[in-house]
Structure 1
Amino acid sequence: MASVMIPLLLSVMVSGLLGHPPPWKEQQINMLMPGVKPTVPDTYLCKSVKMEDDHTYITGFIPNADANIAHHVLLYGCEEPGAEPGRIWNCGEMASSSAGPHAGPCRTGLNILYAWAMEAPRLSLPPDVSFNVGQATSTKYLVVQVHYKNVSKFLPPENGEDHSGLTLVTTQVPSQKQAGVYIMSTGGSLPSHTVEYFEVACEMTEDVEIFPFAFRTHAHSLGRVISGYRIRDGVWTEIGRKDPRLPEMFYNATNQGISVRRGDILAARCTMHDTTDHTVSIGATQKDEMCNFYIMYYVNKPPTLQVDSCFSPGPPYWYWKDYPDQEKLNLDAAPDTASVIPGTNSPLKRNVSQAYAFESSEEVEGVPGRFNDVLADDIIDQAIEELDPQSLLYLVQELAEEEEWQQQQQQQQEAQRQEMLLRERQRQMALGQIPALYGGRP
């Protein structure tokens, strides 16, 4: 017993003499804006802090923000930040002269550690779970990003300043379980007065087993319900489902204790309802939309995931039905509750089958494929029998031209889909929403 107590007492004495708290005592790191004055709505500002110690363990997050001013606050871990500590820089697409230099949140090694929006409360991680950061890790810098939605407070006559950001609760005591965040997101667009599904799915390819313990959903004003799942052996298990209009905190996972390992599929759906008179697309401003499903997880032993994001181009270019391995996805087993707002009973049904000029796979009454109780083939066969040879030849030529036109349309649609995917990935990387080294299959 004495051999254990002596080093412990020496540690306490040395810490006291040097003016440092003992290693097990919680400490706080303030990641707050230093009185900034953004003047353009939808400005993104970033601030970085270098982690001086080899290892620091983050166990909690205390937000300091007003949802009327800050649309969201993100905490990034970086190997190298977009700008050195001491500088405030514009880290979004809405560059403005008042925001200073422009760059992404991270120059290298970007990963998301935490996200806040809509008056979410503080978050404390489960016992013995922490984010491991510091000079001996890949996260050598922390960067806080604030998205300013409303800047009226900073304009005349108020001429105010802002100190939004986060306070991190940390310790020097290692935890047995290391935390990480995996984010699923989409591009895409939403026609006016429609309900649409924004869907994404990726297979886990790393030999790492993760345990999701919390989830967070994020959309703007048109999001109604966002749901996320693990698919293993064709069975869909819910990780989380929430109305994104509620406080955007990390909620406990629906099924605690489940794991995700190599070969499993992670899938998410954002159900959107556009009540406006115009098309709304995924984008960076409050007038655009976003579809994000965050999974906070832990591993029993390092490392955490190297590929920490999954992205799809979204509607009308990509849905779950476009996933390359449909047998493994087992779409027929997708839960009916994927588009049910918690607390209600009926799913919000997609109603945009005719909204996109080039995307209409559903059968509609009054067109070939649905003639009440009469088979369409019988009607077509009877019409062909009544044609004279010249009209039949003309019909064959018309059908051949139609088939050629359809092939051209399909090629154009695929080219549009690929171009949309590329542009969306470039935009997401510019915003720092996905790493430059994108992983996972769209």
Structure 2
Amino acid sequence: MNQPITVYTLIIAALFGMVQSIRELPYISVDSKQSDEEQFQYKVVIPPVQTTEVNRYICYSKSLEEIGESYITKLLTEPDPIVKPHHVDAGLCLEPLHEDASWDCQRGLACKGDAVEFSVTDNFQSVDKPFYVLPKDVSAKVGGNGKKYFLIVQMHIYEPLKEPASPANITLTFKKKPTKYNYQKFLLGNEGFVPASKPNGFFTHVGCEWKRPTAIAFHYYVHTHVHGIFAEGFLIRNNTWTYLGGQKTRERHQVWFDVVNGPVEIRPGDILASRCLFINNEEKDIDLKSEDTCIFQLSVGYDIQYQEYFARPPGCISTSPDFTFCSNEKTAALCDR
């Protein structure tokens, strides 16, 4: 492209590019209305934490053994307005690093066994009590088969906490009957860096082949830090791309968004791809591990018989700026986008 690319041009292209049709699947519904079946709630208050350092990750685990075999349908996150955590990431874990305790942890849930990443809330959204509701035929199973599950929560805290304070409350809603689909996440993200001096914008690219059984994608989530402004995702099948969705990564009015024209079936051999738009006015590279991040995350439902393929949240990581849509045959359909 010979003409200079402005930030405005990039955003307009990302938001209003050609969107190809997606077949709507009749057997999964994004309707958040739950059935008439009796449900119950379980509230967890995160114990007070304290840190003298900036930019810390703190994890907490809580046994759900007393719940018995049940199925999560909703999750409410209530961040403390004084602590103001950058994000609160909740999930399920079979073998947390510590049981019923808080500890200093790194990025990613500190879980050794089976895990389900459930919901994220971050401080770029306008609402302070995000309520995540699964489609009525999708749930996250807890307990059963002699397994002891834990709720595990990761909290990213920017500023030091000189006095002990509880970063958040988590309320889970359960029902006792299983649903047609189990719930899991699929994350597309970047490692590497954003090159220096990119005031007109720079896209980082991600792409991987889906090598698991068929799953259904129904929600997506986007996230960057201070330099990122936009993220979007795609599905490629037979060299034809389909738009999954895209949003500004800051100043959002909600956390999760419905997949465009979804739900969408992901089949073995499909390619999942994403990209994030960054503005770098600095004369140095931006490290995508320590300084910023690019995340496009899908919520998926899968048939219970394929549990072994989804025991932990699958993901796709590509290195910027080495990986681009044009440099890889599998993502070549997006080369001119």
TM-score by length of 1: 0.61
Report deviation, 1:229. Answer: 1.0
Identity of aligned residues (%): 23
| Structure 2 partner of 1:240 | 245
Tell me the amino acid that sits aligned with residue 189 of structure 2.
S
Give, in whole Å, the separation in 1 of the partners of 2:268 and 2:249. Answer: 29
1:79 aligned partner: 94
Say whether residues 1:43 and 2:56 are aligned partners. yes
Larger Rg belongs to: 1
Alignment of 1:245-256 (within 5 A): 245-247=250-252, 249-256=255-262
Structure 1: distance between partners of 2:106 and 2:172: 23
Structure 2 regions of 5+ residues with no counterpart? 1-35
* Correspondence for 1:267: 273
CA distance in 2, matches of 1:199, 1:302: 33
> What secondary structure is seen at the aligned counterpart in 2 of 1:127?
coil
Contact 1:188 1:198 in 2 (8 A): no
Q: Report the equivalent of 1:57.
A: 71
Aligned counterpart in structure 2 of residue 294 of structure 1, from 294, 297, 306: 297
Q: Could you tell me which of 313, 320, 323 is aligned with 1:315?
A: 320
Q: Which protein has greater RCO, CA pairs closer than 8 Å, 6+ apart?
A: 2
Residues 311 and 333 (structure 1), Cα distance of their counterparts in 2 relative to 1, 3 Å cut: closer
2:85 matches 1:70: yes
Structure 1 pair 200/90, CA: closer, same or farther in 2 (3 Å)? same
After superposition, the C-alpha distances for 1:122-154 in whole angstroms (9 at most, x for unaligned) are 111122221112243877222111111123xx3
Residue 273 of structure 1, CA deviation: 1.1
For residue 127 of structure 1, what is the aligned residue in structure 2? Answer: 136
1:341 corresponding residue in structure 2:
none
Q: 1:176 aligns with which of 180, 189, 207?
A: 180
Within 1, Cα distance between the matches of 2:146 and 2:318?
32
What one-letter code is carried by the residue in structure 1 that aligns with 2:195?
Answer: P
1:211 aligns with 2:226: no
Other-structure match for 2:157: 148
1:164 is matched with: 168
Residue 322 of structure 2 aligns with an amino acid whose one-letter code is Y
Contact 1:61 1:123 in 2 (8 A): yes
CA separation of 1:270/1:211 partners in 2, compared to 1, >3 Å: closer, same or farther?
same
CA distances 1:27-59 after superposition (whole Å, capped 9, x unpaired): 222333212222211111111122325522111
The answer to whether the Cα contact below 8 Å between 2:80 and 2:167 also exists between their aligned partners in 1 is no
- Name the counterpart of 1:413: none
Unaligned runs of 5+ in 1: 1-22, 94-102, 337-442
Q: What is the rounded CA distance, in whole Å, between the counterparts of 1:192 and 1:316 in structure 2?
A: 11
Q: 2:118 matched to 1:113?
A: yes
Matches within 5 A, 1:270-349: 270-284=276-290, 288-304=291-307, 305-306=309-310, 308-323=313-328, 326=329, 328-329=330-331, 331-333=332-334, 336=337
Moved over 6 A (4+): none
CA distance in 1, matches of 2:279, 2:148: 38
- Which of 224, 229, 235 is the equivalent residue of 1:230? 235
Q: Which residue of 1 aligns with 2:9?
A: none
Normalised to the residue count of structure 2, the TM-score between the two structures is 0.78
Question: Whose strand fraction is larger, Structure 1's or Structure 2's?
Answer: 2
